[in-house]
Amino acid sequence: MIKESNRFISSCIFEGMTSIRAIIDNLKANVPNARKVEKILFDKEKASKKAKELGYLRKMGELFGFPVEESNESEISSLSIGASHGGIIAICSERNYPMLDVKSIKENGFYVMIEGIEDPYNFGYAMRSIYASGVDGFIFSKRNWLSAAGVVCRSSAGASERAEIYIATDNFIEIFKSKDYKVVCADIKNSISIYDADLKKPIFLIVGGEKRGISSSVLSNADQIVRIDYGREFDAALSAASASTIIAFEVFKQNNK
């Protein structure tokens, strides 16, 4: 469980091998703006059980210039936010995310913006599923959950570090339309079912949170508004994480027939 008092704080402490491997993979691939590992701490009581992982981390430490240091369960738990670190954490630098511009966008691609998710853990869940669907990149507003990097990385199974991420400018919709992208928003009013919609690439999908939804100014610029049909009468909205996952995999389906 995430400690509730720390759930929303900024953090560049990454817990567990899945998160740490994602960061190291970016260093190995020489990804621009990749965050650096400043230090690895491991619980010395678990060293024998983690011999393979520690061997890998020491090798990477020699390659990229970070120390791998002995610690204990008490110190690691005091630094970590969750309880699933497995005795290994990485203290890392901040990551700078580039602003969106025309050159950022691939031809015939698939990009997603998710807005208004109230919790960094659900934010990470959404990124995990959308990344698995084959998205080319994420667009986020300046206010987002990426500051809680450790929580988001763990809940996204490393997707938040592996994915291409851009920060939206005021004219982000115009940028996508200039590249002949279809802008698709998930909403109810004036919508069609995702199963009847044309979701062929190039496509820019925007999904809002359950409480705030998508702003009227963004909706007014959508080329298409889509909804998810339910299998029964049910008044509640799906979570943004669930909705974005369903639509993202429908995009995958339509583009891989």
Residue ranges per structural domain of the chain: 4-92, 102-254
Cα(130)–Cα(111) distance, rounded to whole angstroms? 10
Assess whether pLDDT exceeds 60 at residue 115.
yes
Q: What is the mean pLDDT of the chain?
A: 89
Token digits for 228?
A: 């998810």
How many Cα atoms sit within 13 Å of 143 on the Cβ side?
A: 5
CB 130 within 8 Å of CB 112: yes
Cα(39)–Cα(239) distance, rounded to whole angstroms? 36
Q: Give the architecture (CATH level 2) of 4-92.
A: 2-Layer Sandwich (3.30)
Assess whether pLDDT exceeds 70 at residue 3.
no
Summarised one tens digit per residue, pLDDT across range 73-113 is 888 888 877 666 678 999 999 988 999 999 999 999 999 99
- The Cβ of residue 228 has, within 10 Å, a number of other Cβ atoms equal to 17
Coil, strand, or helix at residue 176? helix
Confidence of residue 145 (pLDDT cuts 50, 70, 90): confident
Query: Superfamily assignment of 102-254 in CATH?
Result: SPOUT methyltransferase, trefoil knot domain (3.40.1280.10)
**pLDDT value, residue 4:** 47
**pLDDT value, residue 5:** 46
> Among 99-103, 116-120, 186-190, 209-213, whose mean pLDDT is lowest?
209-213
Assess whether pLDDT exceeds 50 at residue 211.
yes
> Among 228-232, 237-241, 242-246, whose mean pLDDT is lowest?
237-241
- Look up tokens 């659900």; give the residue: 122
What percent of the chain lies above the pLDDT cut of 70?
93
Assess whether pLDDT exceeds 90 at residue 140.
yes
For residue 39, what are the CA distances in angstroms to 1, 25, 64, 73, 109?
Answer: 24, 16, 11, 16, 36
**pLDDT value, residue 147:** 85
What length is written for the chain? 257
Q: Which residue has the higher pLDDT, 2 or 69?
A: 69
